Amino acid sequence: MARIRLLTRALVLLGCLLIPPALQASRVSASPPFLVSRAKVPAEAQIPSTDSARLQLFRCAAQRSGVPLPLLIGLAWEQSFISDHGGRPSIDDGYGLLDLSARPGHDTLARAARLVHASPDRLRRDDALNLLGGALLLARMERGLTGRLPAAPGNWTAALVRFTGMRSAFAAHLVAADLFRALRHGIHAGGISLRPVSIWPRFQTLRQIHLQSVVRDSQADYPGATWVPASSANYTPANRLPGNHKIHFIVIHDTEGSCATTVSWFQNPAAQSSAHYVVCLDGTIYQMVRNKDIAWHAGNWPINVQAIGIEHEGYVDHPYYTRAQYLASAALVRYLCHEYGLSPNRNVIFGHENVPDATHTDPGPYWNWSFYMQRVRNDNAGYAGGETDVAMTATNASVYSCPRTSCTVLGSANWGEQFAISGEKQAWEQITYAGQTGWIPAGDVTAGSGYVLRTTGATTLYAGPGSKTPVLGAVPAGQTYVSLVRDGKFWYVEYNHRYGFLAASSVEQTNCTRNRIAGCLAPSGSTLAVTPNAAAPNIAVTVAGTGLTPGSAVLISVEGKPAGSALTDSAGDFTATVTIPSDLKPAVTAITATDASGKQTQTTFQVDTPLPYKPIVSASPRNTDPGRKVQVGGHGLPPEQAITVTASFPTTKGSVVVKTIRTFSEPNGTLAPAGFTVPGKSLPGTYTLDALAPGITAAGVLDVAGENAATATPTAATPTATAVEGTIVPPPVTPTVTPQP
């Protein structure tokens, strides 16, 4: 069999050398001859920086099909990470380097096989035929849309999306943006090394294909979701708003059925279950329960009360999850983390299988936690580097009873789970697992971070933050666990592939890293969270604290330097936006919040290298009058992020009206169209438009005229009251922005 595959590759390569492209296409595709149209991309992108046998297959397929070489490499990266996965089906049941699929309604495998006169089984196993058949199919799709092969790579966007099988506009934007972003960053995978090339998708071409659009519905909390309400008999009304810190967790589920079946079931009063969101295979997102309300999804009431539940179309025992689904869900989770001040780690984002005292096993072994969490964090690690007392699994790993793979397997750990290190041997880390000593291969873990807790005596692990919740088990003295979340008098810890709660009075805290960052532990009764938990200097982050003195002023410091202030509410909680000092070097640092009585809460934070974004926000028109509509635009923003734009307008009545717009950035970094009406009684003057995204800020100006030019400027006004008005802007039905060149 190996000899046959080698012979096939040799014949394909020989065909590239001997047969003119036009004639090749005619012979292989059985369609009229066509001339290859070379895409106009920079010369340095035409030739990858390294050569390989696999690269020669890409060159051959590109030459014979007329697909530009960088686009073909980018498509393979998008579809398979340039891996044949050993002949096994991918997460969306596709095969080979181009993830050719036999799914009903999107059978690219059979269509590509016909173009190279081979069986689908051959294309499943042979890289050369998989690439050639897929490339010819992509070219045929492009000719079917436009009648030609475009010279500009961006004009292939619609055909690329059609090839991937995306059906919704939201998923199409995510996939296209991801593919072209990879090309701009450079691709190094699967034996291919492609230099960065500055090409952008042309989203306007998506009008050529039929895509389902997001319904404009102001009831959806997330701008990218369609509002389809669940039966009121299937959830509990509540008031969990962003400012009251009632949401601490995000639980990942699978539906064990289709999207349509799941939506229909949650609308049935007999279901007695629900989730806040349902994410379909094509990336479509339905919101069925408002974020402020309590969905019934976790099988654990204390978790339900504090969690957002997200269902994903799929099955626990089959790799049905798609790339569009991962990207759409990750964008949703990024939005939720920003909205509620959550740290994007596995103590906050976990599967139904990890819920304390639950019996479900979803999303199951085929859910790719590593890929998913990388997308949630926008590829920022967000964890402390270097030598630590905490091991974080870098892949799905097994835990053994001794430091040998021949020893008894105690259990497993998904990517991102963290364990306290209690010892080590060559190539192995000793950890506490399920109340006993376990060993995990050192190659399966990386440096983690968090609070290392050691039990001071025999204690009990509970299913919720209270002694009246179900008991999960007994924990002996001297065991060590890791936590990133404290809920009142209880710590939330990982235990035997699930999670549980330990009473704070039953554990002692140890330093969280071996380099002993000063103040890295939160004092009893208080917590601090930073979102995102990794950012560059001069970037704004959201700091949320709990457990301080009620009604107290709070000073927020970064590495001992004042960075912002806040005021606690009646419960001693606060939320504030601070800017990371410009002189900090990339490293793990400490953020501290101190109230007026001297009480402190602290956490660690990763200072990243400076970001390449140069955000600009503007108003149109720049000069306006009170009572007029203003459009807010911008560019240079991080892609696919929730954006909040605010402007404060002092009025002739002595009050201040705060206008707040919640919108999002497009995949190309432009701001989705949004607008507001300038308050009718606004004073004349120059006002600032402040735009805040996770990890970045931008500002623009707006000049407001008035009849009384002598009236005090906004900065001199003395407000007596503040009114806050808000708008949620859903994504546009049709793309209306042009990518930046």
DSSP 290-339: -TTSEES-SS-HHHHHHEEEEEESBBTTB----HHHHHHHHHHHHHHHHH
Tokens 């200072």 belong to residue? 607
Give the residue, 625 or 613, on which the prediction is more confident.
Answer: 625
For the chain, what are the domain ranges? 2-208, 226-376, 390-510, 527-607, 616-728
Q: Which two tokens stand for residue 259?
A: 């999207």
Taking the whole predicted model, whether its pTM rises above 0.75 is answered as no
- What is the C-alpha to C-alpha distance for residues 704 and 712, in angstroms, rounded to an integer? 13
> pLDDT-derived band of residue 611, with 50, 70 and 90 as boundaries?
low
pLDDT at 251: 96
- What is the C-alpha to C-alpha distance for residues 84 and 207, in angstroms, rounded to an integer? 32
- What is the C-alpha to C-alpha distance for residues 564 and 175, in angstroms, rounded to an integer? 38
The arrangement of strands across the sheet holding 553-558 comes to 534-535, 600-607, 587-595, 553-558, 561-567
Q: State the fold for domain 226-376.
A: Lysozyme-like (3.40.80)
Q: Which residues of 13-35 are buried (b: 16+ CB within 10 A; e: fewer)?
A: bebbeebebeebbeebbeeeebe
Could you tell me which residues come within 8 angstroms of residue 351 by beta carbon, excluding any fewer than 6 positions away?
251, 252, 253, 362, 363, 367, 414
Instruction: Compute the mean pLDDT over every residue in the chain, rounded to the nearest whole number.
Output: 76
Average pLDDT of span 223-230: 84
Tokens 């891996």 belong to residue? 83
Counting residues of the chain whose pLDDT is more than 90, the rounded percentage is 17
Evaluate whether 2-208 and 390-510 have a shared fold. no
Beta bridge partners of 607: 535, 587
- What is the C-alpha to C-alpha distance for residues 738 and 669, in angstroms, rounded to an integer? 10
Average pLDDT of span 181-187: 83
- What is the C-alpha to C-alpha distance for residues 556 and 571, in angstroms, rounded to an integer? 18
pLDDT at 320: 65
Which superfamily does 527-607 belong to?
A: Neocarzinostatin-like (2.60.40.230)
Could you tell me which residues come within 8 angstroms of residue 26 by beta carbon, excluding any fewer than 6 positions away?
32, 33, 34
CATH architecture type of domain 2-208: Orthogonal Bundle (1.10)
C-alpha distances out from residue 76 to 82, 131, 552, 571, Å: 5, 9, 55, 52
Cis peptide before 532 (omega within 30 of 0): yes
Beta bridge partners of 427: none
277-279 and 249-254 beta bridge pairing: unpaired
CATH 2.30.110.10 fits 390-510, yes or no: no
Q: What are phi and psi of 184, to 5 degrees?
A: -70, -25
Give the residue, 333 or 281, on which the prediction is more confident.
Answer: 333
pLDDT at 454 over 50: yes
Q: State the fold for domain 616-728.
A: Immunoglobulin-like (2.60.40)
Give the residue, 316 or 53, on which the prediction is more confident.
Answer: 53
Could you tell me which residues come within 8 angstroms of residue 30 by beta carbon, excluding any fewer than 6 positions away?
115
pLDDT at 621 over 70: yes
- What is the C-alpha to C-alpha distance for residues 737 and 37, in angstroms, rounded to an integer? 27
pLDDT at 140: 95
> pLDDT-derived band of residue 381, with 50, 70 and 90 as boundaries?
very low
> pLDDT, tens digit, for every residue of 650-677?
888 888 888 888 777 765 678 877 788 8
Give the residue, 725 or 442, on which the prediction is more confident.
Answer: 442
Q: What is the CA radius of gyration of the chain?
A: 27
> pLDDT, tens digit, for every residue of 568-589?
887 777 878 787 887 888 777 7
Sign of the C-alpha dihedral computed for residues 377, 381, 382 and 383 taken in this order = positive
